[in-house]
Structures are given as C-alpha cells and as structure tokens.
Amino acid sequence: MAGLIIVGVDGNSTSMKAARVAAELAKAMGATLRVVTAFGEDRTEKVEIGNDEWFLSTADEAERVAQRVAEELKKSGVKTEYSSALGKPADVILEEATKLGASLIVVGNVRMQGLKRVLGSVANAISHNAPCDVYIVKTEG
C-alpha cells in the first residue's frame, strides 16, 4: 500500500522517537514519509563577527531540523520528504495532511496525560481534527 505518512518533529528526543516509528510504518507500507517542522514566528537576526555578517532565521532553522531528520530516516531505506511552515504545530501538520492527502499522521503522546490532556496538546488536536488515520506513539510515560 503506497501513500503518504506525515510526522511532525521539533528536534527533541520524543519527536525523534515518533519519527523513527513513522519511518518503520512508512517502510512497511511502502509509503513516503514527510517530515514536518512548525515554527511559531518568522524572526531574522543579524549576527556580526568582525567584518562578516550573517542573518539567522527561525524559518531556516526549522527547515534545517526537518531536513536533518528526513536525511537520518532516509538511511533506513524509506523515501523521505521534508518541509517547514509558520504556525502552531498541530495546525501545520493538519494543513499539510489535508493539502497532500496523507493516509496517516504519526504523533507522540507528549502532554496527553492528566490536566494538560484536557487543556490541549498537539496529539490531542490532531487526533480530533485529522483528515486521515492517526497513530499515537508512546514517547513518554
């Protein structure tokens, strides 16, 4: 079964655990894995050292996180793509899944326990609003 699986990452160890599970699922299903990173604001900072100057952007950093994760997962033999977008993580993942016709979204269970589960989390928002199936990886607890 071919298709598209989307996983959101932010570079931390729990999102990497979800990404590895997503890669295993994509490989088993013959699907493409799309690694997505969201960023909350598009800021650019100018850094000057001596006569040199660089511009550092949150958008560029988010893109690098997604690319690094996609390249690492590609080593396991799964076809990967990556992207980043401005917005809240759940909104970015849901929009990407809808736009691309994803067959599955993989998320971790971070902050899905206790009071925080009621107040909201990325996994909670996605599980209630996804246009496709959702696989929740036990990444903590």
Residue 33 β-bridge partners: 5, 80
Model confidence at 119, pLDDT cuts 50, 70, 90, reads very low
Q: What is the CATH number for 104?
A: 3.40.50.620
**pTM summary value:** 0.84
Q: How many domains does the chain have?
A: 1
Q: In what order do the strands lie in the sheet with 32-39?
A: 80-86, 32-39, 4-8, 104-108, 133-137
Of the candidates 38, 53, 34, the residue with the CA atom closest to the CA atom of residue 99: 34
Query: How much of the chain is helix, strand and coil, in % rounded to 5?
Result: 45, 30, 30
The tens digit of pLDDT for each residue in 12-57 reads 888 999 999 999 999 999 999 999 999 887 666 666 677 766 555 6
Helices (H) and strands (E) in the chain, counts: 5, 7
Among the listed residues 122, 107, 119, 120, the one whose alpha carbon sits nearest the alpha carbon of residue 40: 122
Share of the chain above pLDDT 90, in %: 62
Domain span holding position 58: 4-137
